[in-house]
Structure 1
Amino acid sequence: MSQRLINPVYKQFPVRQIWLFCTILMLLAPEHARAQSEGKKLFEKNCSVCHKLGGGKLVGPELVGITQIRDREWLVKFIHDSKALIESGDPLAVQVFEENNKIPMQAFPNLSDSEVNAIIDYIDAWEPEAEKTFTVDVNQKTGFTHTEILRGERMFYGLIPFENGGKTACNSCHNTVISDTLNWSPSAADLAQSFMDPNGMNIYASMAEPGSEVMTKAHAEYKLTEQEVYNIAAYLSEFGHKGMEKQRSFPERRILFIVFAVLMTLALIDLIFTRIVKYRFIHTGILLIGIAVHLNIAVVEAQNLSRTKDYAPDQPIKFSHKIHAGDNQTDCRYCHSIADYSKSAGIPSNDVCMKCHNVVLSGRNSGKFEINKIYRADKSGKPVEWIRVYTLPDHAFFSHSQHVNAGQIECETCHGPVAEMDILKQYTDLSMGWCVNCHRDTKVNFQGNHFYKSYKELNDMLQSGRIDSVTVEQVGGIDCSKCHY
């Protein structure tokens, strides 16, 4: 009886179909997540400069809910090439174009239909992030107790283990002293400055959800509690007030000078007064070697006075000329735009940086951290305080326009292989001898410049074949008054 009742009920539920449906759902869920992730990456790379999600109109219109008012097939065509669609007379494309001040939208022929659909799917599924609540005071930047600072210091140096794992100490990546070695990871002072800046990072949110691929990989083993982050923030606040100490190099030349000065003094005392050492050639040897060492140090230091070859200061932003000028082939004069007509090459303003970094939001070496410094500077309205590398004495005149424009000298001639430098350093010593030798060897575009027609004697010598070229020296390039007046 019971079996008869069960069978009809059992047959009403297609168990196999339900099982199959659940299996398909489980298989599709990871694929859907991957598609969403891909759509987000594509949107941030290609669309975020002109469009916001949930923030109203930027350059282009708000896109949240766009599929409810526009057909998907039309959207794919418009995204691929809006200009072609407008020129074809499509009434909706023309309407959108006119509604947005006739600003042309960039074409994306490089994106496949599936990639465009991934972007549209991401926009469709987008929801504003719920504001995360914290159990600690995330707004506290100063006023930490000595115990909190001390505990944060021990965590930073790996002396106290983290609750949820993470074996590598923070200071293995983040310097706590000023070092001559390039480290793409932000130093403790950088972190403190960013954390304490009103427009800076929320250290709690950054540790919970890293904002770049670089940071995600670097922090893969760490799952810090809010209290642990709070203690580390307390320790970092000390760097915000005091800064970092410079790592001192061993003063070997100074010690060598002092050692030989002491030996020479003892040798003289023994030679004249005490006479403990009987062999005078020992005193003579010490004195001669000491004099030679002291003379060498004096001459080298005198030659290097006011010369700063290989000077490579730490800049406020870890800007890599190797990436920009080398890998990305950015023309020097795109950033140093006044070199053609000014004495100085110029320091790029925040606006110049933002032309690219409105689109390029993350770097390959430091993620978003260094690029975020540009955004903070731009938001504050203050320029980035770059440190000058090449500085001539006041009594020497040099014009970039005269060399770059008239002389057609390549930047690398004076600045070296900049496209290979992560940290820009002074390539030459900028001595007068170096300048004079360059003027003696460098040939002038004599026949291609009408200015030089006034040099009749040199023109006659060229035409008669007595000389085949003219150097800067021959047109007065090493006269004292050319550079010193």
Structure 2
Amino acid sequence: MFRRIAQSIFATVIALVVFHVSSFAAPDGKALFQSNCASCHNPLKDATGPALKGVDSRVPSKEWLHDWVHGSQKLVQAGDKYANDIYNKWGKIPMTPFPSLTNDEIDAIVTYVNSVEPPSAAGPAAGATATTEAKESNGWLYTVITLILLVLAIILWRVNSGLRKVAEQKEGQASSEEIPLYRNKVFIAMAVIIAFIAAGYWIVNGAIEMGRQQNYQPEQPVFYSHKVHAGINQINCLYCHAGAEKSRQAMIPSPNMCMNCHKSISEYTGDADHPLYTAEGERVDGTKEIQKLYKYAGWDPAKKDYIRDANGNIKATPVKWVKIHNLPDHVYFNHSQHVAVGKIQCQRCHGSIEEMDEVYQAAPLSMGWCINCHRQTQVQFAENNYYSIFEKYHNEIKAGKRDGVTVEDIGGLECQKCHY
């Protein structure tokens, strides 16, 4: 009787562990959204693409949505009216296809975006919490629950063993002497294998992650809010980072660029609508940050003129910005090739920059991340003279033999593209 009870309890615990593992392995809509969709979409408002909350109720059907995510151009070229309406509304810029996403993963993303609610109120706690929650994960909670269930399973196994001994003694049967765990060959072998696997995982994962700094968010000498400038005030990224479409480097603007506007804007008046907070939730005085800019630029706000030395030179010093997005020295990356030729939006690599007060590295910028982008991203052949030499692909598209051309098709996976 005791044995049956213990076995039932043990089976229940195993079932809970299996259920926990299966639920943990289910598609994580939030993680999928952040890694695939967040660079162009926001659940609640239009960004590079439309707001996604309630998208399943706007499209013709769930199957249509799956086909759109897997390859929107197929629907456009097939003459689908709804697909063409979206395509024309958003400047005839095709959505990046995601053929690797399964239907279940797409449904998980839709479930997540539908669950997102607008913030109830602005304040230090709300601002700080929103930034923190976006970067935190519940992985630690799953780990703790798994460990607790594992310990409970071991305890019940020991209870079952003890009850079996008591039952055997009561029935007058000779009970076998139990071998201590530290002398049990099976236990020792399993412990060694588990330790070997854990050590291998830790070493390999550490080596892979070496040099990567996703979510890196250093403190800058001047609190510059991209949300205020690029988001609220709609300043084009290329106004400050003019090199992004002309050269390899995007260029960090000098204080003189900032002074084009801040000669007349000497105080921050957006505290009521958009108070500024650091990632730690500390209030930031926007007007004091503008005063810091004046010191770097050598500007006297009282006289409304630059401070000069005896020789007439402006007493200005460069702002020592902390670089956030770093690639290895052996990697070649050209901003103009992606921005001017590839027509890639800034958010594709830098995340929703127009929503960041303090900028952080949103993407991993790893080799695998870049390769996957080259495999999935369709280059814009239409009205793009850069690709006029690829007559074969143009003819295949006109003949309907090809839906589009990815970066991979034009040599985007060749080693010499990035390493030479």
Please give the TM-score of this superposition, normalised by the length of structure 1. Answer: 0.42
> RCO (CA 8 Å, sep 6+): is it higher in 1 or 2?
2
Please give the TM-score of this superposition, normalised by the length of structure 2. Answer: 0.48
Larger radius of gyration: 1
